[in-house]
Amino acid sequence: MATFENLLYSLDSASGILTITLNRPAKLNALNAATIEEIREATQQALDDPQVRGIILTGSGEKAFVAGADISELAALNDISGRRAAERGQEAFCMLEESTKPVIAAVNGFALGGGCELAMACHMRVASENARFGQPEVNLGLIPGYGGTQRLTQLVGKGKALELLLTGDQIKPDEALRLGLVNHVVPLAELLPFCEQLMTKILSKAPLAVGLVIDCVNAYYDKEMNGYQTEANSFGHSFASEDFREGTAAFLEKRPAVFTGK
């Protein structure tokens, strides 16, 4: 297993829940190139590990999930290196979005710029009451580069996304909840336990079906795919699974199902 300098990688082998913690508290967990690469490596490691069934992504400390990108590093980029940095960030974040293992962002504190983009790449977002969301890149003469213009529009709609992107305004968690940017808002002390409880509920379902649902929902936003056809193909595929036979048998026999992900 890889070791990380900017992340904490903690797997609960009993539950199968992996917690990845962005761990640069002195920088409010700001994203630099090394951290983005570690996110990519950690995600790949999690996807390859059969013991990992679900992922919770959070930030160290109480002030920030990820307060943004590392500005000192951005200041050294030019048009060519900037485009490459965006491509690497998009690649890493797409791995999270396309993971067939569920990913929940536990957003503690600031989720600004790249931090908001990272949270949006996760399948669900749970925010603490002190969380703040925003894409303030226009204040630096920049735009979001890690998928923010696309995912924010998908989550909150074109008009509100443009307002947030063009003003650089931050919003509080109650507004984020109203807009559909987050799924739940909880007190900070309850954030990780709530996410673990939500993940445990998801992991009690058939793993193959969970992964197929994620694929189908993602297909809706992929211009190169037919979401309805993806759903039909996946629906048919699920009938060939052992989990389908177990799930239907358990229902008919009025007992809890024991899924194996096969």
- The angle at the Cα of 103, spanning 210 to 3, to the nearest 5 degrees, equals 125
How confident is the model over 29-36, as a mean pLDDT?
96
Q: Please tell me which residue, 260 or 50, carries the higher pLDDT value.
A: 50
Task: From the candidates 117, 175, 196, 242, give the one annotated as an active-site residue.
Answer: 117
Task: From the candidates 38, 73, 91, 137, give the one annotated as an active-site residue.
Answer: 137
Spatial separation of the C-alpha atoms in residues 79 and 99, rounded to whole Å: 30
Q: Is 190 a catalytic residue?
A: no
- The angle at the Cα of 20, spanning 1 to 56, to the nearest 5 degrees, equals 125
Residue listed under structure tokens 């699920």: 238
Q: Is 129 a catalytic residue?
A: no
pLDDT 10s digits, 104-141:
999 999 999 999 999 999 999 999 999 999 999 999 99
The residue ranges of DSSP E strands in the chain, in sequence order, are: 7-12, 17-22, 54-59, 64-66, 103-107, 110-112, 124-128, 132-134, 170-171, 184-186
pLDDT 10s digits, 236-251:
888 888 988 888 888 8
Average pLDDT score over the chain: 94
Spatial separation of the C-alpha atoms in residues 104 and 92, rounded to whole Å: 16
